[in-house]
Amino acid sequence: MTCLGFVGLGRMGAAMAPRLLGDGRDLVVWNRSADRAAPVVAAGATLAATPADVARSAGVVFSMIRDDDAAAEVYEGRHGFLSAPLEGRLFVEMSTLRPATIARLDAALRGRGAALVDAPVSGTVGPARDGRLLALVGARPADLARARPFLDRLCRRIVHAGPVGHGALLKLVVNLPLGVYWQALAEALALGRAGGLEYTAMLDALQDSSAALAVLGLKRPAILGDTQAPAFDLASMQKDLLYILETGSASGVPMPATAAALGTYAAASANGLGAEDSVAIVRFLAEKMTRQA
């Protein structure tokens, strides 16, 4: 029976990792802050001291980490994956990283006899807990076949976009419209507020129109100021938009709308909203623009 590993037990990882327990399978986990691992350890996982220890123990290792800097530490750091024997190991990277970073990690792992499945996901904590994520995968077919039984525990659907790196690129493609949508919604609400419309009236109309994304209803409480736990924090969206702009620049693709949205997320983060839900940008920008009107 394959021993699995899971590295990164933040909001998403903590929801995902317990789904890999069961069927008599061992699960070895690691998180930078060990206390975040306590719930999954209580459910039956074993806590490792380092990412390298996870790689030594597990044949298939999943990771769900914040950004490229965290990936560099987990893979290439002093006690990272690449410091362990890796022959025959399979790594399933589910974080949102730059495609160039995925390419670098893939080359390093291949050089050590291991394989990488690039599988970032679309979805937040609720779908992660229920195994209803959408996996956006870049992988060699044989590697995806090896990972699929475990990805099926985490995801409602797997989209195989192509070779390694295409999953990371597709994730940026998926996240771009959402990030820009909140910017556009903020401008729309600012326009209405400047003329005396109330937020609730505007959101009622928008939600019942062709201008609404499916997620708008779910995000409406947060837009109106509900302090519920963020499903996807503003700082993470800021990071993703930065990666999108950098990737677009490297490909020669101009992205003026994305650049404008990134500027707003950066300003909101500088005003202390980075840990709030990403839709905090809506009220932030709408109220800022209304004050300036």
Q: Name the CATH superfamily for 170-292.
A: N-(1-d-carboxylethyl)-l-norvaline Dehydrogenase; domain 2 (1.10.1040.10)
Q: What is the mean pLDDT of each run of 10 residues along the chain (293 residues)?
A: 90 96 90 94 96 97 97 97 97 97 98 98 94 98 98 98 98 96 92 92 96 90 82 93 97 96 95 93 84 70
pTM for the structure as a whole: 0.93
CATH class as words, domain 4-162: alpha beta
Q: State whether the Cα torsion 265-232-32-85 is positive or negative.
A: negative
First to last CA, the chain: 64
Q: 135 has which bridge partners?
A: 121, 158
In the chain, where the domains are located: 4-162, 170-292
Which pLDDT value is given to residue 42? 95
Which pLDDT value is given to residue 229? 79
Three-class DSSP category at 58:
coil
Let me know if 219 is a catalytic residue. no
Which pLDDT value is given to residue 261? 95
Which pLDDT value is given to residue 214? 87
d(CA 119, CA 290): 41
Which pLDDT value is given to residue 1? 52
